[in-house]
Amino acid sequence: MSEFDLVVRGGTIVTASDRFRADLGIRDGRIVQIGHDLSGAREVLDATGRLVLPGGVDAHVHLAQPTSDGTIMADDFDSGTRAAAAGGSTTVLPFALQEKGKSLREAVRDYHAKAEGNCHVDVAFHLIVSDPTPQVLGQELPALIRDGYSSFKVFMTYDDLRLTDAELLDVFEVARREKALVMVHAEGHDAIRHITRKLEAAGQTAPYYHAIAHSEIAEREATHRAISHAQLVDVPIVIVHVSGRDPMEQIQWARKRGLRVHAETCPQYIALTRDDLKGLNMDFEGAKYVCSPPPRDTAAQEAIWEGLRDGTFDLFSSDHAPFRYQGEAGTGKDNPRARTSFKWVPNGIPGIETRLPILFSEGVSKGRISIERFVELTATNPAKLYGLYPRKGSIVVGGDADLVLWDPEEARTITQGDLHHGSDYTPYEGMQVTGWPQVVVLKGQVVVRNGVVDTDARRGGHIDRTAI
Ligand code: URP
Ligand code: ZN
Ligand code: ZN
């Protein structure tokens, strides 16, 4: 009998703190030895010239999420997690969304049914609380948190999802009592509505004006408000998808006062600007880039890089929220209502597969961040923050053998035809990147080999966070 099921030989292992040459011995899905000249394996992966990274942990993705306007998300668990695997992420955290008037417990049940048997990587669910009724606050949410759904998102904007300030404070209280982590979408709803009305009155309805309506000032104000409410209640929060310097400064202000405020940013804030929303000539193509908060400008990108370097950001997630541009019968971004005003364009862009290549290329290959920091932002920190560490997010004896053999030299041009997601476009079309995942291993099994996903395998599943 072989000592190992798999040995990864001759690569450079990188964790959030170290970089060293070693072999990895894997048995029963776990790393059992880190050493030299390991032999006695059923299969050997030659990692010479490769970086051996922990599989990415994408802590912010939307898959098969219900919408309230007849549009349809382009990814279910099959296509979304297949794209995650192809891009080097072995764990993703999507959201089980409570629709207003419905039960949160039922949303979780439905979401499990959608995921069951369809996952190419492991998944752990965050919740979205949109209707904090006494039943939800008093029973469903506390019970779900105790069952391991220990993180949930709340929205300060979007008509169908947003909570009032009083409701925010109520859910923060539950989070404090039950020791959950609240993720906050911080954009000031009334300010956005106010600007939107003025733009529409002036006939400025093209997708580009989404970026004007969703002003960075509205993001800054809501970020400060969320932090103040969290301080009042004494609860830790994560400000998700931070787009530029103004909201970053609020987070830095809070940290200086010792408040437990975590921060996440995403590829769109280093690789896109609001000019992308102009499309070809202020035309509807700009809808392909509509997301909230929107990308800003090159000065904001520089601020984000500062934050990625100096520790302001804990997390680099995709915020993968995929729609087709041309969906069937008005289910995509290009639908008749969206043509009348930017405010009806479905918010969100695909990015689950390109998250790691974009940060590696723009960050590590261009010398802006170290490879260890890359691992920390994309795998270790999200695993730690959301209760998956040390099983996920690093390379440790006893941890799951979730690994990426990364080719740091592979030059690629990102193009829709090569990607695995369900969208019919990528906002990063034509972007040149250096560095791409070659082989991806999930719990000791190869799920991507030479860039090709084993589409039949579906070796992923839901992770019970009470059992870590
Ligand atoms: O535009 C975005 N980000 N859509 C996805 C939902 C969210 O707010 O994260
Ligand atoms: Zn959001
Ligand atoms: Zn999101």
| The ligand 1 atom nearest the CA atom of 290 | 1
What is the rounded distance in angstroms from the CA atom of residue 332 to the CA atom of residue 325?
A: 5
329/430 same-domain check = no
Tell me the CATH number at 139.
Answer: 3.20.20.140
Q: Please state, rounded to an integer, the average pLDDT across all residues of the chain.
A: 98
Question: Average pLDDT of 34-39?
Answer: 97
pLDDT at 265 over 80: yes
User: Which ligand gives the minimal distance to the CA of 222?
Assistant: 2
Place of tokens 């997708």: 207
pLDDT band at 164 (very low <50, low <70, confident <90, very high): very high
Q: Which of 365, 400, 432 delimits the end of a domain?
A: 365
What's residue 292's pLDDT?
Answer: 98
Give the residues across from 413 on adjacent strands: 432
| Ligand 1 pocket member 62 (CB < 6 A) | yes
Specify the residue with its C-alpha closest to ligand 1, atom 4.
348
What CA–CA distances, in Å, run from 178 to 57, 182, 185? Answer: 24, 11, 21
pLDDT at 338 over 70: yes
Tell me the CATH number at 22.
Answer: 2.30.40.10
174/275 same-domain check = yes
195/239 same-domain check = yes
Count Cα atoms within 13 angstroms, Cβ side, for 253: 14
| Ligand 1 pocket member 362 (CB < 6 A) | no
pLDDT band at 1 (very low <50, low <70, confident <90, very high): low
Place of tokens 């207003």: 100
198/129 same-domain check = yes
pLDDT at 354 over 80: yes
Give the phi and the psi of residue 236 in degrees, each rounded to 5: -75, 145
Residue 93's closest CA among 66, 118, 61, 65? 61
Q: Model pTM?
A: 0.98
**SS3 label, residue 10:** strand
Instruction: Please answer whether residues 406 and 51 qualify as being in contact, where contact means their C-beta atoms are separated by less than 8 angstroms.
Output: yes
Question: Average pLDDT of 447-451?
Answer: 95
143/94 same-domain check = yes
What is the rounded distance in angstroms from the CA atom of residue 154 to the CA atom of residue 152?
A: 7
H helices of 264-368, in order, are: 268-271, 298-310, 336-340, 355-359
Instruction: Please answer whether residues 460 and 120 qualify as being in contact, where contact means their C-beta atoms are separated by less than 8 angstroms.
Output: yes
413/281 same-domain check = no
Residue 35's closest CA among 9, 60, 63, 57? 9
Count CB neighbours of 341 within 10 A.
Answer: 18
Give the residues across from 263 on adjacent strands: 239
135/19 same-domain check = no
The pairing of strands 51-54 and 403-413 is antiparallel
Residue 165's closest CA among 177, 174, 176, 156? 156
Q: Which of 158, 241, 274, 323 is the pocket-test mutation for ligand 1 (most atoms within 8 Å of CB)?
A: 241
41/86 same-domain check = no
Instruction: Please answer whether residues 117 and 129 qualify as being in contact, where contact means their C-beta atoms are separated by less than 8 angstroms.
Output: no
pLDDT band at 185 (very low <50, low <70, confident <90, very high): very high
Residue 335's closest CA among 389, 365, 374, 290? 290
What's residue 2's pLDDT?
Answer: 83
Reported as a single tens digit per residue, the pLDDT across 96-138 is 999 999 999 999 999 999 999 999 999 999 999 999 999 999 9
| The ligand 1 atom nearest the CA atom of 185 | 8
Q: Which of 219, 277, 291 is the pocket-test mutation for ligand 1 (most atoms within 8 Å of CB)?
A: 291
DSSP assigned state of 414:
-
Between the CA of 292 and the centroid of ligand 2 the distance, in Å, is 7
Place of tokens 């890089």: 305
**SS3 label, residue 437:** strand
Q: Which domain holds residue 280?
A: 56-365
Between the CA of 321 and the centroid of ligand 3 the distance, in Å, is 6
Structure token digits, residue 353: 């597969």
Domain assignment present for 374: no
What is the rounded distance in angstroms from the CA atom of residue 38 to the CA atom of residue 32?
A: 11
